[in-house]
Amino acid sequence: MRHQQLLSPYYLFFLALSLFAERTSAQNPIIRDQFTADPTARVFNGRIYLYPSHDIPVAEGARKDWFCMADYHVFSSDNLTDWTDHGVIVSQEDVPWGNPSGYAMWAPDCVEKDGKYYFYFPNAPKSGRGFAIGVATSDLPDGPFRLESKPIVGTSGIDPSVLIDDDGSAYIYWSGMGIRGAKLKNNMMELDGELQEVKMPRREGMPEMPPMKVGGQQMEGLPEGFKEGPFAFKRAGRYYLTFPWVREEGGTETLAYAMSDSPLGPWTFKGLIMAEHANRCWTNHHSLVEFRGQWYLFYHHNDFSPNDDKRRSVCIDKVTFNADGTIQEVKPTLRGVGIISATSRIEVDRYSAASEGVTTALNDTVYPFLGLHASLPKKGSWMTFGDVDFSMITDGYVMLCVKADENTELTLREKSAKGKVIARAKVTVKSEITRPGMPTPFRRDQSGQWLTLTVPLDYTPKGIADLVVTCEGTAVSVDWVQLRNRQQYFTPVAKNTASAKPDEHGFIRRWQLMEPQKQDIRSNVIFTDSWLRKTFADELDKLPKKAKWYAMESPTYNMKLFRFAEKYGSQAYGNLFWCETVFDCTEDISDVRLAAGSNGASMWWIDGQEVLLLEGDRRMVVDDGVSHRLTLKKGRHTLRCAVINGPGLSDMCVRFIDEQGKPITNFNIQ
């Protein structure tokens, strides 16, 4: 930790959050565990890389109410939905020519030329005022980057952007007394052409500054008004110079653009790419990039810091070009871009569309990265979250994080507020609970608290669909929604499947399980050895001839019989399970013991002979009971067990062990 301010509890909280959130996901803003601003997105080797600047809370000694930026991270994504943070690539303490506590690492850029990556960044110099532009190079887009010892001579200013033309010539643009542009030399680190002496404007109350040597030229043809953050690119043979622009006195920044037939202009002003932020967040800063045939606008907004527009977050929306090359104005969305898996946490407050009256708010105003939630004010209110991929949901359920003041109901639907119901959730915040033995019912009141509900799916959309949340009762707030597949406790074993081995610890995981036999047992205290022997003998006599058997394999060492009962029986509790497995020994195995555990009581037979009885109300424990010494003769054997339980969840595990307690694994299970 190099910055004192990083040790504040505020920052440590974010750090902890980021350790658990190496990957972030789609929806605007796209990075949700730290502030990110001034995004430059580039496609390198088919992957999208994001080079933003990194806003942090104002550090000790740094200018109050101002930008505070001490380092740069790089992020990358393969689908615009899941972003990986590759960590810090350049830090202010490491810049040889920079002020180690300048906190002025503003908008950067990164380009690739001849297999080398050039990272351009503005920074406060060690001495003197203003900014200079530095370079760091790397063999990979995510670093490590080697810093040059000096900034680029003649580029005093901020917000560098580099365009590499089709013939390999490179041009750099930056903001400093207007927007300037210059050709770069082949080494990508020096301006081509003469420097000019420019008289520095005198700041009130400051001593006069000596004239400065500045390279390049003013970009001609741009509109009047404050401009910064140039981003240049080429598309279909035309050059675009795009820039944040304050179009009127007292206004805030729009994103605007001009076009030209040559990289350094003159430019023809074309208009806006994005209008001012509705909440008057003063800055905007951007880049445009084509990824897999679609153009995207990366920009920033202060979503996670509504009362401070110097802590910003990167967003993405789609861009459309008209046939004449002009750009259609982009309306910022909450939803952003990219397809999101139904199994991710879907922050539905980032909706694509919503009915009137739906509002969003931060979950916690002190820790903004705890995200936002949306509130549906009344029956019939809805919000749509577009492009959810349901294709991986096979046998699922949905979890919803909700809050309400009164008992209410909501539905998840496909496509529209009247669409097919995916799931229906009752939100019970106030209820009377009667407990046996308690004289009066007590009241549970969870109004105003976040609850995580789990409800089964009534229907699963096919492929990619829009998810709609509708309020079916009184007001309800929703933080997130997430679908899950049920854990697979058993895999059915198809006929003619090759034989299996016990697992490395000797546990036998493949069994024939008879459909559970319901038992009316109120208490397990009756599981004495005589009761068990008699019951199992009687039950065996009256086994239904047509009882169904299921060949099952367990992914875990124990057979979770209650899960089997949930699916194939009439009740999860109060069952007798008959289980059988057939195994082949290729040689005699002597001095082995059967070691088993069950929840509750169980009895074990090999080739019809009783070998072990676990009486009483047992908990399943590995090797809870062991048989006497056995010899497993070469050839085929049948191992059978009966597990019985009253008011409890049954499971069992079994293996053979040798004299030292080591597992026996040299037999084949049919």
Residues within the interface to ligand FUB (CB under 6 A): 37-38, 53, 67, 106-107, 158-159, 228-229, 244, 283, 285
Q: How far apart are CA 232 and CA 240, in angstroms?
A: 5
Q: How many CB atoms lie within 10 A of CB 438?
A: 9
Q: What are phi and psi of 637, to 5 degrees?
A: -135, 155
Nearest approach, Cβ of residue 470 and ligand FUB (Å):
39
Nearest approach, Cβ of residue 53 and ligand FUB (Å):
5
Is 245 or 351 the residue whose CB approaches ligand FUB more closely?
A: 245
Nearest approach, Cβ of residue 159 and ligand FUB (Å):
5
Burial profile 301-329: b = 16 or more Cβ within 10 angstroms, e = fewer: bbbbbeebbbbbbbbbbebebeeeeebee
Of 638, 532, 24, the closest CA to residue 315 belongs to 24
Is 104 or 565 the residue whose CB approaches ligand FUB more closely?
A: 104
Is 125 or 502 the residue whose CB approaches ligand FUB more closely?
A: 125
Is 123 or 283 the residue whose CB approaches ligand FUB more closely?
A: 283
Task: Select which of 55, 71, 85, 228 is catalytic.
Answer: 228
The reply to whether 148 belongs to the active site is no
Give the 3-state DSSP-derived string for 305-343, with helices as H, strands as E and coil as C. CCCCCCCCEEEEEEECECCCCCECCCCCCCCCCCCEECC
Structure letter (DSSP) for residue 569: S
Task: Select which of 38, 71, 349, 414 is catalytic.
Answer: 38
Q: Write down how long the chain is.
A: 670
Radius of gyration (Cα) for the chain, nearest Å?
Answer: 34
Q: Which two tokens stand for residue 91?
A: 């830090």
Nearest approach, Cβ of residue 262 and ligand FUB (Å):
24
Q: What are phi and psi of 415, to 5 degrees?
A: 75, -50
Structure letter (DSSP) for residue 200: P
Biggest alpha carbon–alpha carbon distance for the chain: 107
Nearest approach, Cβ of residue 255 and ligand FUB (Å):
11
Is 37 or 478 the residue whose CB approaches ligand FUB more closely?
A: 37
Q: Is the dihedral of CA 392, 393, 399, 404 positive or negative?
A: positive
Q: Which two tokens stand for residue 478?
A: 């929703």
Q: Of all helices (H) and strands (E), which one includes residue 43?
A: strand 37-44
Q: What is the DSSP string of 259-283?
A: EESSTT---EEEEEEE---TT--S-
Of 664, 663, 611, the closest CA to residue 642 belongs to 611
Query: Which amino acid is present at 213?
Result: K
Nearest approach, Cβ of residue 131 and ligand FUB (Å):
9
Is 161 or 344 the residue whose CB approaches ligand FUB more closely?
A: 161
Is 119 or 527 the residue whose CB approaches ligand FUB more closely?
A: 119
CA distances 397 to 158, 409, 460, Å, are 51, 17, 10
Q: Which two tokens stand for residue 54?
A: 């990194």
Nearest approach, Cβ of residue 245 and ligand FUB (Å):
11
Is 244 or 336 the residue whose CB approaches ligand FUB more closely?
A: 244
Q: Of all helices (H) and strands (E), which one includes residue 110?
A: strand 109-113
3-class secondary structure, 301: strand
Residue nearest to ligand FUB (CB): 106
Is 38 or 414 the residue whose CB approaches ligand FUB more closely?
A: 38
Of 579, 564, 551, 567, the closest CA to residue 494 belongs to 551
The reply to whether 588 belongs to the active site is no
Structure letter (DSSP) for residue 152: P
CA distances 535 to 424, 428, 526, 601, 608, Å, are 44, 43, 11, 12, 16
Nearest approach, Cβ of residue 55 and ligand FUB (Å):
7
Nearest approach, Cβ of residue 136 and ligand FUB (Å):
17
Catalytic residues: 38, 228
